[in-house]
Each structure stands twice: as structure tokens, then as C-alpha cells.
Structure 1
Amino acid sequence: MSQVKYYYDSDTLSYRKIEPKKGKKFALVILFLLGIIATSFILALVYINIPSVETPKEKAYKREVENMKFQYELLNKRMEDVVSVLKNVEERDNNIYRVYFEANPISIEQRKSGFGGINRYKDLEGYENSEIIVEATESLDKLSKRVVIQSKSLDEIAALAKNKEALLASIPAIQPVKNDDLKRMASGYGIRMHPILKYRKMHNGMDFSAPSNTEIFATGNATVKKAKRTSGFGNLIVLDHGFGYETYYAHLSKFNVKPGQKVKRGEIIGHVGNTGLSTAPHLHYEVHKNGKVVNPINFYHGDLTAEEYDIMLNQSTLENQSLD
């Protein structure tokens, strides 16, 4: 309680209470309120302009943000290491595995496709640390896409590896007639004079001159696609080796196989003859790859020595007259 003050009144010879003036009391109240406002303003300025003044909660949030930044930096570094390893795997995949198994390489555009156009990280923008969050998320997305593509590629290589043994056994790789039975390699692949039509035309195979009924061998594992009489090729056998390969054996005297039959490389499928448009007993032999005729000279690596191959190569290039 505030003290009550008195004064001595000489007229009444008594003590009287001193009453404060109303104006002075009001002024004291105003002065007190102004003091409070001024003090609050000064304290606010001090708080705003002194960064070190932080509440415990703000200090905890700040530590958490700094820790998150550090963790994102570590994450980005680890992803860079993983990308480096993945790049090495991609290079080996293109330059070793896919080359060995005759598969087309995967371009860098294919491996990194699918990240243009729309802004897929819009929801992560607008925050104080949006840049590092977007960078980490985008890097992870790109890495995931490349891993998926590489995984599919390795699945494809694994399937090709399983088929490699079958491919090697199926590719035409030997002569269809033994060297001991050959009179000569009569005509090769290329433009030749036709013996019956009497004009130069494309000769799509190789002619092996041999006595009638000489054995003819399948040049690779295959399924017999055709074994029938034709007008131009006479008695014709067509073998389907799979993997896009087919071989033709024309002018035969007789068949040893029938359509749908499975044959192995080196198995006897027919005998040399002189049927169809032919001027002498011989075998006309063709190799087809993916529906196109190719030079059979490239498919004798399975049974010829280097010297024998050179002799056949030289004979096949002579522009002589074919036998069919």
C-alpha cells in the first residue's frame, strides 16, 4: 500500500491528509506506460540485431537443418560414386558383352532418356533448402532409371549367353561336300554367265562340282524347311538354322530328309544330282541371313585349313560360267 501523507493545519490545529492532484496522478500513469513501451522497443531492437540471441528451440532447429545439409552432401557424394561404377558397367556392357553376343549397343541417349519436359520437382521448390533437395532427388531418379535399363540389358545378355551354344552349333560352318569328293569348286558368288539362259546374271551361291550321288551334309544344326522338286533348282532342300540363317541345297538327285525333320551339322541330307536348270552334276549352295542372300565363302571356318580356304577364295572370285 502507498503511504498516506499528512500536513498540520494551523487554522484548525489538526493534521489533514494530503490529497494528490488528479493531473499529476494521470501524468505518472502515462509516464509509466511510455517507459514500458520504450523498454519493449529497445529490447526488440536488441533481439533483432543480435543474431547470437536464439531460443533453445531455434538452436535445436538450426542444428537439425545443418545436419540435414551434411547428410544430403554425403548422399550426393555416395550417388556420384555409384554413378561412376554404373558408368563402368555400362561401358563394359556396350563394348564387351553386347559386342561378343552380337547385340546392338545401348546409346547414352537411351540410358538417360525420360527426364526432359515438365518440372517433376515443383512440389519441392519454395523452401530455404529446396536446391539441395531437388538436386538429390533428381540424381536418385536418374540413377534409378539407368539401373533399370542396365538390369534389362543384362537380362538380355544372359538370354543371349544361354543361346550362344545353340547359335554356334547352328550357324553354317562347314562345306556341304567333302573335299575328297570334289572335282572342283566350279563357280562362286557374284555376277556369272548363266550356262542355259546365256546372259550374265547374279549367281547367289557357290557351285560344287562332284559326281552324281555324292553325299551332301548339313552345314549346321537345323530344321528341314523344304525338301521338294522345283523348276529352276530341281530337287531342293532348304534348312532353317534359326537365328535368321537358312541354307539352300539345289539340283539334288535324291533326298535323305523330309520337312520338319531335325538335323545336326555333318548329317547327310541328300546327294548331288543334275536336276532343274543344270548342265552337269553339282551342288548349288546358298546361305541366307535375315531373308537376304550372303556370300557362302564367309561360312567355311569349321573344316577348312587356312591354305584350303585361300584356294577356295581364289577360285570363287573367278568370273567363269556357272553350272546353273
Structure 2
Amino acid sequence: MSKVKYYYDSEKLAYQKIKPKKGRRVGYISLFLVASALFGFLCFVVLINTPFFETPKDKLQAREIENLKINYAILNRKMDQLDDVLSDLEERDNNLYRVYFNSSPIPDEQRRAGFGGINRYKALEGYNNSDLVMNTTRRVDVITKQLVIQSRSLDEILKLAKDKEKLLSAIPAIQPVKNEDLKHMASGFGYRSDPFTKVRKFHAGMDFSAKTGTPIFATGDGVVRRADNSLSGYGNHIEITHGYGYETLYAHLSKYNVRPGQRVKRGDIIGYVGSTGRSEAPHLHYEVHKNGAVVNPLNFYYGSISAKEYILISQLANQENQSLD
């Protein structure tokens, strides 16, 4: 029961009962209800933002965030392993492959250069785990760039290897006549006695004495530039262009086994020994040219003879005897 209040009425000289206004009572009730609602709302906000009160959705999101953190940690460990493998490959690339093929190494600052310009990761800022996501994304971008550079480098190495293989195939590296078919090494490279004039003159190739019809082999891969008797003194002869500045000449043939423009490989039979042209006896006159100058063919037999055979041929070829042409 509410307390009754009175006031003294001086006109009536008596105490009168104070009657509360209905509007004020309603206002008090409304204020109380609003204050209670605000207090309840604040309590609810506080409760849902404390770890002591979690909805099923909050728990699910928390588990997903933890799983993402674990996955990012696993991804970073895998990137550590990938970085180690890539570093090893880059070291071999610079210090082995590129050295072998006489190619300049790729500097580390080029391999590991960052990304300039605008902030590539601005969209990832402002989240609880932004640092983790940004650092991982940045690492992925750097490793991707390193892989692209390394891939291009390996493409270059592959091209150099193919060119190297072509070069090794093009170099005249075998004897044009097999050892078992030789009668003897008639004459080597250098000054020799002319068989017709007996005058000492420069002999630009090597003479291999063999029976007429003995097979003659291409000493390196190339293209037949000439197969005729247009050069004075050489009789029937063949010229092969090997590329990389190399050319070979085979003279005094009895017959051809190739035609001009034909592509040949090392070891192909291109013709047969004879004694056409300015020749004293059946033999093959063989020359090697490098960048337009004649060179000693003896330096190019590493592909078909042993060290012992090379020493023997070298001794015979260096004797200043009489040539056969």
C-alpha cells in the first residue's frame, strides 16, 4: 500500500490529501520500463561478447578459424620445404648447368626480388588474422615468381643443351676410313714432298691409303655442299658443311654415295676410295676447315680411336714423307 501524503491548506486552515496525477504515474512507469529494457539489452551485449556465453554458430566459427590457422601453419611448413628444394635447384642451376654451358648465372637479387608499386595486399588488412594471411600470401607470390624464373632458366638450359648436342654432333670427330681398311697412313698435315715435282710444299690434309672401293664415312653431321670434280687436282670430291664454322673435304673418290644438298650423319657412307685427279695411288685425301682455315685433322679423331691408336697415328702422320697427291 502506497504511503498517503498531505499538505496544509492555509485558506481552509486544514490538511488536505495529496492526490497524485495520473500522467505522472504513467511517466514513472514508462521510464521504469525503458530503463529496464536498456539494462537488459546491455547485459545481453556483455554476455554475448564474453567467452562464457557462446552460441552454436559462434562455436562453429571459432572451430573454422582454428582450422584455418592450422592449415596456414601446414602451408607455411610446406613452403619452407619448397624453398629449400628451390634454393638447391637454383644453386645447381647457377654453379653447374649455367657454368657448363658458358651462360651467366642469375643474380640472387633478381631471383628473390619483391613486388614494387601499389600495396598488393590491402584487401587483406583489417582482420583479426591479417598478418598471418598477408605473410603467407606474400610468400606464395615470391615462391611463384622464383619458380617462373627457374622455369625460364631451365628452358634456356635445355635450348643450350640441344645446341651443345648439335655442336658435338657437327664436329668432325672420327676417321673417314676405318683402321681395319687402311694399308697405312700415307701422309699427314704439314709440309711434305710432292709426289710429282718432288718439291717440298704444304699438305693441307691427311692421306689415308686404302684399296679402291673402300667405304668413306662422314666424320660429322652436316649437309653435302658439293659432290663433283670441279676443284683442280682433287678429282671426284665431296665437301660437307657441318655448321659452327666446320667443313670437311674428301678427295680422289672412285664414286659418290651422296648428292649435293643431302643431309648426312656422322658414320654415313658418303663415297668410296679411288685415285681420281692428281693422285699417285688409291687413297683418300681428307681436310678439315674451321672458319675458312685448314686445321690438322689429327686433332679431331677422339670419337673413333683409342689413346694408343691416336699416338701411333700421330707418329706416322708427323713423319715428313711424301704425300700421295
Normalised-by-shorter TM-score class: 0.5 to 0.7
Whole-angstrom CA distance in 1 between matches of 2:107 and 2:269: 47
Displacement of 1:208 in angstroms is: 2.1
For residue 16 of structure 2, what is the aligned residue in structure 1? Answer: 16
In the alignment, is residue 252 of structure 1 matched against residue 252 of structure 2? yes
TM-score (norm 2): 0.58
Percent identity, aligned pairs only, is 34
The 8 Å contact of residues 227 and 255 in structure 1, kept in 2 or not, is answered as: no
Where 1:311 maps in the other structure, the secondary structure is: helix
CA contact (8 A) 2:206 2:317 kept: no
**Distance in 1 (alpha carbons) for counterparts of 2:276 and 2:79:** 70
Matching residue of 2:107: 109
Match of 1:118 among 112, 116, 119: 116
Per-residue CA deviations over 1:147-174 (Å, capped at 9, x if unaligned) read 345556379759968x97x988766442
Q: For 2:107, what is the secondary structure of its paired residue?
A: helix
Equivalent AA in structure 2 for residue 75 of structure 1: L
Matched-pair contact (CA < 8 Å) for 2:185–2:317: no
Note if 1:261 corresponds to 2:259: no
User: CA offset at residue 186 of structure 1?
Assistant: 1.7
Distance in 2 (CA, whole Å) between partners of 1:117 and 1:233 is: 66
Structure 2 gaps of 5+ residues are none
1:214-272 deviations in Å (ceiling 9; x for gaps): 74332245542322423696754222457x58541144355503213354515142435
Q: Distance in 2 between matches of 1:318 and 1:120?
A: 76
Q: 5 Å matches for 1:33-72?
A: 68=68, 70-72=70-72
The code of the aligned residue for 1:184 comes to A
Displacement of 1:79: 0.7
Query: Is 1:187–1:315's contact at 8 Å kept on the other side of the alignment?
Result: no
Partner residue, 1:177: 177
Cα distance in 1 between the residues matched to 2:115 and 2:321:
62
Supply the AA of the counterpart residue of 2:117.
N
SS in 2 for 1:219: coil
Q: Which residue of 1 aligns with 2:188?
A: 186
Shift of 1:75: 2.0
* TM-superposition CA deviations, 1:22-57 (whole Å, max 9, x none): xxx9xxx9xx9xxx9xxx9xx9xxx9xxx9789869
- 1:80-95 equivalences under 5 Å are 80-89=80-89
Do the aligned residues in 1 keep the contact of 2:207 with 2:323 (CA within 8 Å)?
Answer: no
Whether the aligned pair in 2 keeps the contact of 1:226 and 1:259 (CA below 8 Å) is yes
* SS of 2:188 mapped into structure 1: strand
1:313–1:193 CA distance, 2 compared to 1 (3 A) = closer
Q: Which residue of 1 aligns with 2:288?
A: 286
Once residues 319 and 110 of structure 1 are traced to their aligned partners in structure 2, the CA distance between those partners, rounded to angstroms, is 57
Question: Contact between 1:212 and 1:253, CA under 8 Å: does it hold in 2?
Answer: no
Q: Could you tell me how far apart the structure 2 residues matched to 1:140 and 1:316 are?
A: 64
Structure 1 residues not aligned, in runs of 5+: none
Which whole-Å CA distance do the structure 2 matches of 1:72 and 1:207 have between them? Answer: 72
Shift of 1:322: 8.6
- Measured in 2, the distance between the counterparts of 1:236 and 1:120 equals 69
Q: What SS is found at the alignment partner of 2:261? A: coil
The two structures have a TM-score, normalised by structure 1, of: 0.58
SS in structure 2 of the partner of residue 177 of structure 1: coil
Q: Which residue of 1 aligns with 2:239?
A: 238
SS at match of 2:72: helix
Q: CA RMSD in A?
A: 5.8
Could you say if the C-alpha distance between residues 62 and 313 of structure 1 is closer, same or farther in structure 2, counting changes exceeding 3 Å? farther
CA contact (8 A) 2:95 2:105 kept: no
Partner in structure 1 of residue 73 of structure 2 = 73
Secondary structure in 2 matching 1:147: helix
Aligned to 2:309: 308
- What is the aligned residue count? 290
- Quote how far apart the aligned CAs of 1:143 are: 2.4
Q: Which residue of 2 aligns with 1:225?
A: 225
